[in-house]
Amino acid sequence: MLSRRFFVSLLAAAWWSSAIFQPAAFAGEFRAGAAQVEITPKAGAPLAGYYQFRAAKEVLDPLYSRAVVVEQDGEMAALVVLDLISTTRAMVDASRKLIAEQHGIPPERVMISATHTHTGPQLIRGSMMDDLTKVNTPPGQEYNGGLPALVAQSVGEAKAKLTPAKGSATVGKAEGISFNRRAIGKDGSLIWQPGKLDPRVLKPAGPIDPDLGLLVFEAKETRSAPLATYVNFAMHPTSIGGGTRISADYPGALCRILSERRGKEMITICANGCCGNINHNNYMTDTPRQSGVAEANRLGTALADVAEKSWPNLKALILHAPRSKSVRIVLPRRSFTEEQIAKAKDVVARMATEKLGTVPIAEAFCTLDTVNLKDKPLEVEVQVISFSDELAVVSLPGEIFVELGLAIKAASPYKHTYIAELANGSIGYIPNREAYPQGNYEVVSARCEMGSGEKLVETALALLKDLRAGS
């Protein structure tokens, strides 16, 4: 009969053998989930864009807060894109607070950006635009007060759908869709948004970014529609035009069309890239200049076609637990002379009785806002989130000139670098250094001093390199 000691020895040997020869325990599976929550305002809500008061009357298509949440080993991150003209620091802080409290994702792992649609609700900014758009009236206050809860809800619903996932990425080329809206005149001047075949125009003042970035998450164990597709492309959404209609513009059309093609369960998210000087109007040809719903659908369809053409080129990513780095820096505010301040006050006084152009109004608002806030630091956030050694997403805090985005992509240590502008708050236009002496709309609208854009590039690249190195 075998002794008890023998059995104990046998069990110990078996445990030791198993411990030595079995492979180490695998890390938890990478998971992803996505959701969208409607954020369309009620009738009467003040609309953003175009330096005038407009109250919403008609909904052409709904607006959404779209979110994708990724997780591994308890580490989570969220990428959120809103069908809004911009984000504000106050709204982002309030949304992140709710997301942390309700869903356990720390603020530094939450990126909230806007598509920049000009046919969505106005956010309270603490600037002269608040008075012009009447956003502090009850309809505007109600919308702004309820928005953070809806943003948090979209993240919560995405988290609830977390499922083991695989990821893939590629970059397509969207040629002939976007154009640099600043032109060099034959006399050397800078022309903003010239008309078709304007005889004054010599050439575009700068490049475009034709890259259409795709990040696709699919469930590991099924062949159903993808869970989510994150699209990154740089172009102003101004195809609908002014008026009192609500629309997500071409980003909404792109999201709808791509999901219809790839599976209606798929959440498509469109993050706008560095499009401060980029729109859809090709002034170098005589093709008719279009606007309205048909144009938004044309642009959305064209970009969906690029995505479809690029789909076979998707390459699998090796995914890891999400990592992030975030820093807040202070940019220098522009300064103005007493003569410039007096001129700005005169423009504002004449607005009630005269029809003034966009450029002088923008310049006046920028001048007076900057003077009124001169003692408040112009603090902005730059953030990087990554869940693969091949891909990172960068946030930038405003309407960034395309040259700055191209500089980040060119020097990034990641194979794929997607940039979400108007993210985690916005300070408006941020031109590159070369644009400041040229002047015109974007430059006279800029609150920050020349060189601020290059400082953002430097900051983003430092974060990317630190994150890629694991430091």
Single residue among 344, 372, 400 that ends a domain in this structure: 372
- The beta-strand segments (E) located in 73-107 are 75-82
Structure tokens at 412: 């990034």
Q: How many whole angstroms separate alpha carbon 158 and alpha carbon 147?
A: 17
Based on the fold, state whether residues 340 and 462 are members of the same structural domain: no
Q: Which of 10-19, 306-315, 316-325, 414-423 has the lowest mean pLDDT?
A: 10-19
In sequence order, what are the residues at sequence separation of 6 or more whose Cβ sits closer than 8 angstroms to the Cβ of residue 207? Answer: 180, 402, 403, 406
Closest CA to 213 of 225, 226, 228, 230: 230
Q: Which two tokens stand for residue 432?
A: 């590159």
- Regarding whether 307 and 260 lie in a shared domain, the answer is yes
Average pLDDT of the residues in 20-48: 81
Q: What is the mean pLDDT of residues 461-465?
A: 99
State residue 118's pLDDT score.
Answer: 97
Asked if residue 7 is part of any domain, the answer here is no
Mean pLDDT of 50-71: 96
247 in a structural domain? yes
Residue 1 lies in a domain: no
| pLDDT at 282 > cutoff 90 | yes
Q: What is the dihedral of CA 99, 105, 109, 113, to 10 degrees?
A: -20
Q: Which two tokens stand for residue 35?
A: 């959701």
Are residues 257 and 301 located together in one domain of the fold?
Answer: yes
Mean pLDDT calculated for residue range 304-309: 99
Tell me which residue has tokens 């002379």. Answer: 337
Asked if residue 20 has pLDDT above 80, the reply is no
398 domain-assigned: yes
- Average of per-residue pLDDT across 178-191: 98
Question: According to the model, what pLDDT value does residue 471 have?
Answer: 63
Domain total of the chain: 2
Rg (CA), the chain: 24
Note the pLDDT of residue 305: 99
Q: What is the DSSP string of 23-44?
A: PPPPPPPPEEEEEEEE-PPPTT
pLDDT at 27: 62
Q: For residue 289, is pLDDT > 80?
A: no
For the chain, the farthest-separated pair of C-alpha atoms sits apart, in whole angstroms, at: 109
Query: What is the pLDDT at residue 90?
Result: 98
pLDDT beyond 60 at 177: yes
Residue type present at position 264: K
Could you tell me the pLDDT band of residue 59, with boundaries at 50, 70 and 90?
very high
Question: Does residue 258 sit within a domain?
Answer: yes
- Segment 101-149, tens digit of pLDDT: 999 999 999 999 999 999 999 999 999 999 999 999 999 999 999 999 9
pLDDT of res. 11:
41
Is a pLDDT exceeding 50 seen at residue 18?
no
With respect to residue 20, please indicate whether it lies within any of the assigned structural domains: no
Query: Are 212 and 289 contained in the same domain?
Result: yes
Distance between CA 470 and CA 466 in Å, rounded?
6
Assess whether 177 and 46 both reside in one domain.
yes
| Section 51-77 average pLDDT | 97
| DSSP-derived pairing of the beta strands 228-233 and 278-279 | unpaired
Q: What average pLDDT does this structure show over 33-62?
A: 96
Q: In this structure, what is the dihedral angle of CA atoms 178, 180, 183, 184, given to the nearest 10 degrees?
A: -120
Examine the domain organization and report whether 177 and 293 are in the same domain.
yes
Give mean pLDDT, residues 77-101: 99
**Residue 24 included in any domain:** no
Same-domain check for residues 342 and 438 = no
Amino acid at the residue 427:
I
- Count how many residues are written for the chain: 471
Structural domain ending residue among the three candidates 372, 397, 427: 372
Tell me which residue range forms the domain holding 360.
334-372
Answer yes or no: is pLDDT of 359 > 70: yes
Q: Has residue 192 got a pLDDT over 80?
A: yes
Write the burial class of residue 228 (CB in 10 Å: 0-12 exposed, 13-18 middle, 19+ buried).
Answer: buried
Calpha distance 56→58 (Å, rounded): 6
Q: Which residue has the higher pLDDT, 8 or 303?
A: 303
Residue 146's contacts (CB-CB under 8 Å, 6 or more residues apart) are none
pLDDT at 344: 97
Average pLDDT over residues 21-38: 75
162 & 310 share domain? yes
Q: What is the mean pLDDT of the chain?
A: 94
Contact partners, residue 337, CB within 8 Å, separation at least 6:
none
Q: What is the pLDDT of residues 395-441, one digit of tens each?
A: 999 999 999 999 999 999 999 999 999 999 999 999 999 999 999 99
Is 26 a member of any domain?
no
